[in-house]
Structure 1
Amino acid sequence: MAGEWIKMRTNLWDDPRVSRLCDLTGCTEAAVVGGLYWLWATADDHSADGVLVGMTPATIARKTGVPNLGAALAQIGWIEEIDGGIRIFKFDDHNGVSAKSRAQTAKRVASHRGNGDVTPPALQEPNAAVTGALAREDKSKTKEEPPIPPKGGDGPEDTGAGKPTRKAAVSLKTFLEECRKAGEKPILKDDPVFAYADQTGIPDEFLKLHWLEFKERYCLPDAKRYKDWRSVYRKSVRGCWFKLWYLRADGACGLTTQGEQAKRHHGKDE
């Protein structure tokens, strides 16, 4: 359809992972980037969640004319083979309606920067809807959130009639300190993540490497806070957030380029 487009980074040509794809396929950046364009455009047309049913790594190589491109993409952790097709990782970051909306918003923000119409909240909320010329926030209409009531209490009002106290989100550093004081392991030995790793064939050393990467990333000063860090860790393993491993053709797990880099980086801690 005329007017359709996909989001591609201008610095993709110089991305080290593209260089790795060139090494794995024996092709130039022009051929590899062209192949990526075909794959992402096809996914944008035929998928809503990054899953392309019926496609295989061999299909990608045949369609793009770039030998071994599909297998190379799986090796660096950009796609994975699933039952009946392939899945593109982080599809929503660059494809689909939401990604295009964010890209258009960023462009409008840039075009209005410096004219006094852009407020800090507009810049800090990438998924927020933007209308007109990104008008200033009307603080007079902002509702003040009621304070969270303290836990417990002396009167009959605190016996369950009101809303339960919400658990506050904390940093990973705070959570680790709380575990230390309580004499608990951050990830308990009966945590479901271990059963999941056994079921999917993720080796213990890969799980440990993932924890080291998880701990380093989320102990940064500007890292997110969560209410349940054990649940977040389980989700990070199931989603392979750091792209440290991939499933080989024989079904075993192998380290991706990111995984090898993390292994070297954390080698001093092992």
Structure 2
Amino acid sequence: MIDARVNVSIVSHPKTKKLKRKLGDSGPWSLICLFLWAAANRSDGKLTGMTAEDVELAVDWAGDDGAFVATLVAVGFLDGEDGNYSIHDWAEHNPWSAGAAARSEKARWIALCKHHGRERAAETMPAYADRLLSSATSTPEADDSMRVAENSCAPSPSPSPSPLPSAPPSSAAVASAEPTSDPTKGRKTTFKVWLTDIRASGQKAVSGYQPVWDYAEQVGIPAEWIELAWICFRERYTNDEKANLKRYADWRRVFLRAVKEGWMGVWSWSDRDESYRLTTIGMQALKAFEGQAGAQ
């Protein structure tokens, strides 16, 4: 099912009121029809190649020719000009719809990798493979992306600290970040002890552990969701009465297993969308993280 988001305040928004004043009740209704049509046919909100007449035909506008589009431009619901229109701030208000093409492309890549291997997938989708390579090799060595309370790189411009990585570390970064020795490896310790020792030794907890990122890329789990899994993992083995007594010799491998087996329940696979989606637990972790970052 394809859908689109409409903010509950749209009825009282000044733009909508102006649209109604100029075009009557049919103006706002046709605007909603345009949103729905775009979600189904132009999921990125860009109406490239469409004239004003094309736009009005798409929503069955029955008023004066050109009036609907001209008014949308005038009040600010539509940007651009004839043949190059776009719905104003579409990606911001409809991020799920705006990302439909990217999700479809990613799903195809995952399916190809699963059934034919990466080399064949790269041959079939060379442009996508090039973008993945470019993203991986251009990512600078990040600070420990697995330290929630400490400063690190944000995936988008933000005044608050954000440890969510926008892409797995590059191979060069991993080579320098990968710990040469784990001060606790070989002896079983609790998570608290392990994390304390790791930090005391100047090493990174998980961000330099390449197997996690390799697995995430292989199966198509977004890198930032690995961070959410780490937040839940750290919370469980730090504060849970039973879990904080667990002892393991290699906590990095334990986290990798948690990611592979979905222990944290952060994401689930959607057959309908052929991609992963955040679960309620994942959304709660995201909201908690955003709240924590915003308070800093």
Taking structure 1 as the reference length, what is the TM-score of the superposition?
A: 0.36
**Greater helix share, structure number:** 2
Taking structure 2 as the reference length, what is the TM-score of the superposition?
A: 0.33
